[in-house]
Structure 1
Amino acid sequence: MFRPGLVLFYHICRRYCLSTVDSQHKMTLQWTVVAIFLYVEIAVILILCLPFISAKRWRSLFNLSIWNWFAPYWNRGFFTMILILIILFCDALREVRKYSNAEPMGEAKLNPNLFDHLHMKLFRAQRNLYISGFSLFLWLVMRRVVTLINHVAVATVTGTSLQTQAESANQAAKKYQEDNLLLKQALLDEEKNTTAGKRLLRKEAEKLMEELKTAEDAVRKSNAEVEAMKRQANGLTKEYDRLLTKHNELQNLQAGAGDKKEQ
Structure 2
Amino acid sequence: MSLVWTLVATFLYAEIIVVLLLVLPVASPYKWNRLFKSKFLAMLAQQAHIYFFVVMFVLVLFLLEAIREMRKYSNHEGTGEVHLNVEMQHSMRLFRAQRNFYISGFSIFLVLVIRRLVALISAQANLLAQSEASMKQAQSATAAARSLMDDKKTDKAKEATEDNTLNELNKLRERVQELTSELNREKKDKEAVKSQAESINREYDRLTEEYSKLQKQITIGAVGTKDD
TM range (shorter): 0.5 to 0.7
Query: What CA distance in whole angstroms lies between the structure 2 residues aligned with 1:88 and 1:123?
Result: 15
CA drift of 1:107 comes to 4.1
Question: When the two structures are superposed, what TM-score results if normalisation uses the length of structure 1?
Answer: 0.57
Aligned length in residues: 156
Are 2:29 and 2:124, in contact at CA under 8 Å, matched by a contact in 1? yes
Q: Where does residue 98 of structure 2 map in the other structure?
A: 126
User: What does 1:98-247 align with in structure 2 at a 5 Å threshold?
Assistant: 98-108=72-82, 111-179=83-151, 182-184=152-154
Alignment root-mean-square deviation, CA: 1.6
User: What does 1:21-40 align with in structure 2 at a 5 Å threshold?
Assistant: 27-40=1-14
Q: 1:32 to 1:184 in 2, by over 3 A?
A: same
Q: SS in structure 2 opposite 1:103?
A: coil
Query: What CA distance in whole angstroms lies between the structure 2 residues aligned with 1:103 and 1:49?
Result: 46
Higher Cα Rg: structure 1 or 2?
1
1:66 is matched with which residue: 40, 45, 48?
Answer: 40
Are 1:96 and 1:125, in contact at CA under 8 Å, matched by a contact in 2? yes
User: What does 1:244-255 align with in structure 2 at a 5 Å threshold?
Assistant: none
Q: 1:172 to 1:52 in 2, by over 3 A?
A: farther
Query: What CA distance in whole angstroms lies between the structure 1 residues aligned with 2:69 and 2:21?
Result: 34
CA drift of 1:71 comes to 2.3
Question: What amino acid is aligned across from residue 35 of structure 1 in structure 2?
Answer: A
Deviation sequence 1:64-107 (CA, Å, 0-9, x none): 11112212221100111011111111111111121112112244
Tell me, which stretches of 5 or more residues in structure 1 are unaligned?
1-26, 188-263
Are 1:107 and 1:114, in contact at CA under 8 Å, matched by a contact in 2? no
Q: 1:141 to 1:121 in 2, by over 3 A?
A: same
Question: What amino acid is aligned across from residue 183 of structure 1 in structure 2?
Answer: K
Tell me, which stretches of 5 or more residues in structure 2 are unaligned?
158-228
What is the percent sequence identity of the aligned residues?
43
Query: What CA distance in whole angstroms lies between the structure 2 residues aligned with 1:72 and 1:151?
Result: 18
Question: When the two structures are superposed, what TM-score results if normalisation uses the length of structure 2?
Answer: 0.65
Q: Where does residue 51 of structure 1 map in the other structure?
A: 25
